[in-house]
Amino acid sequence: MILLTAQNISKTYMERKVLDDVSFFLNEGDKVGIIGINGTGKSTLLRILAGAEESDSGEIIRTNGIRISYLPQIPEFEEHGTVLEQVMLHLPDDLKEAKEFEAKSILGKLGISDYSRDISSLSGGERRRAGIAAALIQPSDILLLDEPTNHIDNETVQLLEEQLTKYRGAIVMVTHDRYFLNSITKKIVEVDRGKIYECEGNYAEYLEQKAQREADAEAKERRNRTIYRRELAWIRRGPRARGTKSKDRIERFHELENREIPVEAEKLQLQSISSRLGRKTIELENITKSMNGKCLISDFSCTLMRDARIGIVGHNGAGKSTLLRMITGEIRPDSGSVTLGDTVIIGYFSQECESMDPSQRVIEYIRDTADIIHTPDGTVTASQMLERFLFTPELQWSRIEKLSGGERKRLYLLKILMTAPNILLLDEPTNDLDIATLTILEDYLSNFSGAVIAVSHDRYFLDKMSNEIWELCGDGNINRYNGNYSDYSEKKKSDAEASSDNSEKPAEKKKRTYTGKTRLKFSFKEQREYETIDDEIAALEENIAQTEKEIINSSSDYVKLQELSDKKEKLEAELAEKMDRWVYLNDLAERIANGEMV
C-alpha cells in the first residue's frame, strides 16, 4: 500500500534550484536512505515530506489516517521543562500516561536516566538523544529522520539501530553513516543536481549497482569510440559506392559523432598538503583534567608517533573533545604537561564550525588563509581548490549565507587543510559532511604524511582511518587498543564474553579467502584473430562493392540479379558479424593496454 506520494516537487533557495520536478513514492514497510552531496536538497526533501516546509510546486499526497513522526537535525523543544515532559510534548493527551513507561525506557537505553532534569541543562548530544526518544514514542506509520546519528556516541548509534530494526512502519532517513545505512535501509535515493535516482537495496548494494552502471557506461563509450575511429577513417577514404547501405552507414557515423558523452560524476579531489614534521611531535606527560567536579582524564602520558592514526571513542561527556582542546592549548590540564615540537603545525577541525561572516564571499573566506598553495602536483590557487571541493565558479562568488550547513562544514575543512598542517586533530568530522566528502577525506588521510587524531562515532570512518583506538571511559581512564574500530569492537566483545564465562574458550581463527588477480590478456586464438581481422573486413567490403557493381550491370537478368542480391545480403551479414567481433577485440586490446586485472 502506498503511504505517501510526492508528485512533481520543485524547490528553489536563493536562486538555487535544489529540487526540480521530482517524484517519490513511499510504500508500507519501505526503509529508505537519502544520500547526496551537501546542498543538494536532502533535508529540504525530508522537510517537505514531513509537512514542515512547502514546495514551490507539486503536491504531497498522504493516505488518510497516516501518522508521521519527524526528527529534524536540531530537535525542537520548549525553553524549559523536564526531559520527560519535553519528550512527550507532542503526544495526544490521552496517550501520555500510557506512553510514559515507554518514554522512560527509551531515554534510559539512550543514556538519559534523570528524566526530571530541565531540558535547558542538556548537552548537544543529550538533546539529540531526547529528540530521538520523542520521535520514537510518537505513534506513527512513517518515521522521518534527518541525520539521526549526528552528535551521539557509538553505543547510542547501535541502540538506535536496534530500535529502528524492530520498527514496523516505513522509514525515510537522511544520514551519512554508511554502516547505519547498510543495517537499516532497503532502498537508496540519491539526490543530485535537482533530480532523484532510486536504487533497490542497502548502501553496499547501491555502490555495487552504481559501479556496474558506470562500468557499463564506460564500456559502451569505449565501444562507441572504437567504432567512431574506424568509421571516421572510412568516411575520409570515401565510400566506393553510394548504395542504400552506404547512406545508412554515413547516417550512423553522424549519430556517433553527435552522441551524448556520459558525464563523469563530480568527485572531490583533495591533494595531500602538509608541512615538514620534525622528530619531536607532541608529548602528553601525566596530564589530568576534571570538569564540573568529574575527573575525565587522569595521569595520561603518550608520545605521538609521526605517522599515528588514532581514533578516539567514548560516551558523550567522557572528555574526548576536552582531550583535543588540551592538545591545541585551548584549555590547560589541571596537572601534567603538553609539549609541542618546534615544527608542529596543528590543523584543528572543531566540532562547532567556526563563526563565519554571512556577508563574506566564499572565495574571500578561503583567500583569508591562502591565495596560493603548493601541493605535490604543483601550485594551486584558492579558486582551483574550491572547484575541487565542488564549489563552482558561480558559488565561489556567492555569500556564505547562501550555503547549507554541510557546505559550510566542507568550506571550513578546506580552510584547515590549506594551512598545510602536519598534525590533524578532527573533532567529529563526520557530522554534517556528506558521504562523497567523507570518502575523499578518508583517501586524503591515507596519504597524509603527518599524524591524525580523530574523535568520531562513525564506525566506517574509524575503520578506514585508524590503526589505534583510544577509549575514554569517563572515569579518568583511557584504554588503548591496536587496530581499527572493528578490531576494537571484537576485542571488547571477546573480553565481555570471557568475563562472563569462567572457562576461557580459545578464539577461533577466521577463515580468509584470497582471490588472486592476473593481468587481462588475449588467448592465442584471439591474438591471431586480432592480427588478421582488419584484412578480412577489408576483403568483405571489397567483395560487397564488387557485388554492387555487378548488380548495376545485371539489371536486365532477373535470375542473376536475384543471385547477386542474395550474395550481397549474405556478405553484409558476414561483415556485420565481423564488425561486432572487431569492436570486441579492439575493446579488449584497449583494456589490456590499460593494464586491467581479472
pLDDT classification of 418: cutoffs 50, 70, 90: confident
The share of the chain scoring above pLDDT 90, in percent, equals: 32
Q: Which residue has the higher pLDDT, 115 or 553?
A: 115
Tell me the average pLDDT across 294-302.
93
Residue 511 has pLDDT above 60, yes or no: no
The share of the chain scoring above pLDDT 70, in percent, equals: 90
Residue 348 has pLDDT above 90, yes or no: yes
pLDDT classification of 512: cutoffs 50, 70, 90: very low
The string over 238-270, giving b where at least 16 C-beta atoms fall within 10 Å of a residue's C-beta and e elsewhere, is eeeeebeebeeeeeebeeeeeeeeeeeeeebeb
pLDDT score of 573: 83
Q: How do residues 526-582 score in pLDDT, each as one tens digit? A: 888 888 888 888 888 888 888 888 877 776 777 787 888 888 888 888 887 887 788
pLDDT score of 363: 93
Q: Which residue has the higher pLDDT, 32 or 560?
A: 32
pLDDT score of 70: 92
Residue 230 has pLDDT above 80, yes or no: no
What's the CA gap between 346 and 369, in Å, rounded? 14
What's the CA gap between 101 and 558, in Å, rounded? 96
Q: How do residues 70-97 score in pLDDT, each as one tens digit? A: 999 888 888 899 999 999 988 888 888 8
What's the CA gap between 27 and 170, in Å, rounded? 7
pLDDT score of 427: 92
pLDDT classification of 274: cutoffs 50, 70, 90: low
pLDDT score of 513: 36
Q: How do residues 186-202 score in pLDDT, each as one tens digit? A: 999 999 888 998 999 99
Q: What is the mean pLDDT of the chain?
A: 84
pLDDT classification of 417: cutoffs 50, 70, 90: confident
pLDDT score of 571: 86
Question: What is the DSSP-derived secondary structure letter of residue 442?
Answer: H
Element (H, E) at 26: strand 16-27
Q: How do residues 366-384 score in pLDDT, each as one tens digit? A: 999 888 877 666 777 888 8
pLDDT classification of 484: cutoffs 50, 70, 90: very high
What's the CA gap between 416 and 424, in Å, rounded? 9
Query: Helix axis angle, 154-166 relative to 124-137, nearest 10°?
Result: 10
Residue 504 has pLDDT above 70, yes or no: no
The Cα angle at residue 479 between residues 474 and 481, in degrees rounded to 5: 140
Q: Name the residue among 20, 26, 13, 14 with its Cα closest to residue 60.
A: 26
Residue 32 has pLDDT above 90, yes or no: yes
Residue 241 has pLDDT above 50, yes or no: no
- Half-sphere exposure of residue 392, counting CA atoms within 13 Å on the CB side? 7
The string over 495-519, giving b where at least 16 C-beta atoms fall within 10 Å of a residue's C-beta and e elsewhere, is eeeeeeeeeeeeeeeeeeeeeeeee
Q: How do residues 90-112 score in pLDDT, each as one tens digit? A: 888 888 888 888 888 888 888 88
Q: Which residues contact 28 (CB under 8 A, 6 or more apart)?
A: 1, 2, 3, 141, 170
